[in-house]
Chains A and B, each alone.
Chain A
């Protein structure tokens, strides 16, 4: 540890040559400008969003957050159904994606034959590179009808006593379809990070567990999962952030129903990001535009909170793992 720091100090000490100093100075300027640029862009966005939502803020106040419906004809706007849609779709997607992602990561690190790991890893990561508009289109044309014809009726007939699985959506779009699409979109993020975490589990620990007579599942449960727990939590929060902010794919499959909050996941709905993307180009009154900015403000606050929580979790885990590793 101390050796490392000594080298670091040496490197940081200013060079004596004039040219080196010039290089240092320009590096510092360029890098500093880049950092300042990023910070000021964030500041500008936040300022613009608050400024844009001022009219709606003064008209509806905080009641906007609880209000249901979007009616430009009668100047009635509320965020509750969109907030509901965002929360349900992103949390639902996270609940579906996490076990799948952990399964994929375990398969790729512990169970799969070595020759299969490379290609499958690459393919799973390719999933993250598919543009969301393509996934959304596939969601309407292929996934929606499949869910409508097979999955929704099956869920309804077997688990219909749970209010979540009510009457299937006739069009194949809705909250449930949005959850499935978001699951596909966040799966590669969570599984890739989990895979890296599982790879980072020290071999000595795993071999010690196996040596003590643990089965492979006991080893995974007793060593791999506890070691990676915090990191997986951070990965989940990253996935959640992605799901919360996704606009286009969700807009295509969620069904665009603005005034509904209900238990049935097969109903149509709408999310904050999707509503902003859908409505901004067509908004006709000042109040409607301002209300869209208000939705953006809510989304911004929501995302910031998710990001901050992720950072805290990651930092805590890094500290703890630092203790474990050394």
Chain B
């Protein structure tokens, strides 16, 4: 009967759609299923995922299974001990730290997020911005590219009379954490009104899903400004804007400007929980060419675990020079020695 055939076909299509979405969810669960000796399972941040992918190819002593389910998901997976390690771009909050029952967070990679623009007549790396202007754009106080505040920074650049459309991430993201962390440091209104988190309540603008979504909107829409992981801007030929650091220099995210920002940890003491923020380094000769939107990303492990030996071996290797330089092409800068030292010290406290 044709009617039955039809219904079966519809059912099959719907079932296939359901199966695909189920698979996406199962991705998180699959990590916990594969736990044999000689293998480590991890879950969390998607920012670090390409780096972990490179590492798992190079690392010989254990199989690394990593599920890029997002920082929040990684934290909850390690809190319930479903995985051997979690990964997060934002350091653990107080309640997350308590909920994880004796976890330590260890910085293991260094990268940045960066503003990108699409303004007719303005090429890549041409537009100059300050943190204050950036905050005012995202607060909705500056709404036109020909605003005097932007013109004053870009003498000689022809800026069109065009409405600004700020684009933000609509999913929870480590990039949003770094970006709002920076804006909170440079703008008091931002700090009190919006604050800093992986998801915030945006005063204005439109959202895009993940780095792809933000990139697609910025690329196809004149007048937009967005922020994306630096590895992504290079792969997608997005037009970067230069950002003024506290020393008054306009910087682009490069290995050296990110490394320079990371020098901040030498000047400040690293707390025992390793919570380090290197956004907006202060005005000083050391940070003359520091990029103000750089960030460390963390691996989170239980202090007491049966996998202690394997975890220590893998993370020690990841902190080493081979692993750190293997991800330079993804614009992860090698971590400074002081951070590596603090990381190793914390790692030493992990036991079985």
Contacts and interface: CB of A to CB of B under 8 A. Distances in A.
B201 A289 contact: no
A70 B21 contact: no
Interface in B74-109: 75-76, 90, 93, 95-96, 99
A257 interface: yes
A64 to B, nearest CB: 16
A98 interface: no
Given A140-B217, A170-B165, A289-B76, A284 B207 contact: no
Interface stretch (B51-59, B166-174, B314-322): B166-174
Interface in A156-175: 169-174
A284 B10 contact: no
B170 A71 contact: no
Interface stretch (B147-155, B218-226, B260-268): B218-226
Contacts of A199: 2
Interface stretch (B64-72, B300-308, B328-336): B64-72
Q: Which of A70, A145, A270, A285 has the most CB of B within 10 A?
A: A285
A103 interface: no
Interface string A278-308: 1111111110110000000000000000000
Interface stretch (B192-200, B231-239, B288-296): B192-200
B201 A256 contact: no
Interface string A237-257: 010001000011001100111
B211 to A, nearest CB: 13
A189 B200 CA distance: 37
B73 A140 contact: no
A246 to B, nearest CB: 9
B26 interface: no
B95 A285 contact: yes
B351 interface: no
Contact of B194 (A70, A73, A131, A289): A73
Contact of B200 (A71, A131, A192, A242): A71
Contacts of B345: none
Interface string A136-148: 0100110011001
Contacts of B14: 242
Contact of B209 (A69, A129, A141, A256): A256
B172 A279 contact: yes
Contact of B13 (A129, A200, A268): A129
Contacts of A270: 170, 207
B137 to A, nearest CB: 13
Given A193-B6, A278-B170, A284-B72, A268 B223 contact: no
Q: Which of B14, B171, B224 has the most CB of A within 10 A?
A: B171
A288 B71 CA distance: 14
Given A171-B217, A196-B6, A282 B209 contact: no
B341 interface: no
Interface string A256-272: 11110000000010100
A72 interface: yes
B226 to A, nearest CB: 10
Given A252-B209, A289-B76, A74 B195 contact: yes
Contact of B172 (A74, A125, A281): A281
Contacts of A258: 201-202, 207
Nearest to A139: B216
Contacts of A193: 6, 10
Given A172-B220, A196-B2, A256-B170, A284 B200 contact: no
B199 A282 contact: yes
Nearest to A71: B201
Q: Which of B21, B205, B207 has the most CB of A within 10 A?
A: B207
B195 A256 contact: no
Contacts of A189: 10
Contacts of B216: 137, 140-141
A223 B67 CA distance: 57
Q: Which of A72, A137, A193, A281 has the most CB of B within 10 A?
A: A281
Contact of B90 (A129, A140, A192, A284): A284
B213 A252 contact: yes
Contact of B195 (A73, A174, A279): A73
B282 interface: no
Contacts of B9: 125, 192
The 6 A-B pairs of least Cβ separation, nearest first, read A282-B172, A256-B207, A256-B170, A281-B70, A73-B195, A71-B201
16 contacts: A69-B201, A72-B200, A73-B195, A74-B201, A170-B206, A171-B206, A173-B206, A255-B206, A257-B207, A258-B201, A259-B201, A278-B170, A278-B171, A278-B172, A283-B172, A284-B75
